[in-house]
């Protein structure tokens, strides 16, 4: 990592382990509502430090740079027609603790490269959810059920939801299900990173 706040070094960047540019829904535990899901790099040496700094070291603008790299790695044509990008929202408690939503900064970086609008506050997190790490598939679904609600009309829209890491898909799926229930035509997931595939 470089010392200044808004960038990471080229050595770190060269360590990033790219993911094949294919739909990852079959790798997810939960994918309902998603028309496709893509990630840029495996969560391994190099990118894990950058994402940790983005989330916990008060370096929000690292997300902007990560988003720009992601937008260069995956083209908007991957998703067909897209009306706009939005982010997975943080609960107010987490937002207050962190001071920013890292997914918003990533979204802005992708939108800048793609020249497609970014819109915030499309979704609102209705309630605080417990950590998913120890939960099984059904518990994860239950934990995330009705956790999100769209705040604006999304009828007939094609939307890309952006986050930092795609793990089981439960959060992204819950966002997509909410948007679909409110009339969105297509909902796609896009993240910077995802864990290494299990052998």
The total of other beta-carbon atoms located within 10 Å of residue 176's CB is: 26
Residue 161 inside a domain? The answer is yes
In sequence order, the 6+-apart residues with CB closer than 8 A to the CB of 139 are none
Q: What is the pLDDT of residue 184?
A: 97
Q: What is the pLDDT of residue 192?
A: 95
Residue 49 inside a domain? The answer is yes
* Main-chain phi, psi angles of 186, to 5 degrees: -135, 140
Compute the Cα dihedral for 73, 53, 123, 34 and give only its sign: positive
In sequence order, the 6+-apart residues with CB closer than 8 A to the CB of 96 are none
Residue 72 inside a domain? The answer is yes
* Main-chain phi, psi angles of 85, to 5 degrees: -105, 150
List 41's β-bridge partners, or say none: 18, 193
Strands 186-194 and 36-42, sheet pairing: parallel
Q: Which domain range does residue 121 map to?
A: 18-194
Crossing angle of the two packed helices 170-181 and 137-144, in degrees rounded to 10: 50
Residue 12 inside a domain? The answer is no
Rounded CA gap, 122 and 153, in Å? 9
Q: What is the pLDDT of residue 35?
A: 98
SS3 150: strand
Q: What is the pLDDT of residue 165?
A: 93
Residue 7 inside a domain? The answer is no
CATH code of the domain containing 42: 3.40.50.2020
Residue 81 inside a domain? The answer is yes
Rounded CA gap, 116 and 189, in Å? 15
Rounded CA gap, 10 and 13, in Å? 5
Please state whether 71 falls in left (phi above 0), alpha (psi between -120 and 50) or beta.
alpha
State the total domains in the chain. Answer: 1
pLDDT per residue as tens, the chain (199 positions): 444 445 666 666 778 899 999 999 999 999 999 999 999 999 987 888 888 888 777 678 889 999 999 999 999 999 999 999 999 998 777 777 778 899 999 999 999 999 999 999 999 887 655 555 566 666 666 666 667 889 999 999 999 999 999 988 989 999 999 999 999 999 999 999 999 775 4
Residue 59 inside a domain? The answer is yes
Residue 8 inside a domain? The answer is no
């Amino acid at each position: 990592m470089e010392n200044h706040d808004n960038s990471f070094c080229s050595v770190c960047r060269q360590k990033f382990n790219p993911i094949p540019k294919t739909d990852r829904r079959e790798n997810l535990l939960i994918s309902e509502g998603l028309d496709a899901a893509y990630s840029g790099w495996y969560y391994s040496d190099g990118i894990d430090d950058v994402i940790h700094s983005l989330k916990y070291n008060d370096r929000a603008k690292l997300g902007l740079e990560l988003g720009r790299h992601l937008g260069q790695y995956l083209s908007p044509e991957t998703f067909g027609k897209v009306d706009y990008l939005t982010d997975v929202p943080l609960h107010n408690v987490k937002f207050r603790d962190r001071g920013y939503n890292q997914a918003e900064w990533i979204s802005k970086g992708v939108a800048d490269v793609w020249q497609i609008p970014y819109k915030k506050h499309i979704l609102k997190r209705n309630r605080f959810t417990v950590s998913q790490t120890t939960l099984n598939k059904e518990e994860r679904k239950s934990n995330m059920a009705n956790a999100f609600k769209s705040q604006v009309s999304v009828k007939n829209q094609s939307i890309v939801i952006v986050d930092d890491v795609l793990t089981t898909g439960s959060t992204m799926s819950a966002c997509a299900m909410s948007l679909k229930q409110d009339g969105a035509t297509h909902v796609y997931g896009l993240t910077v990173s995802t864990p290494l595939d299990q052998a």
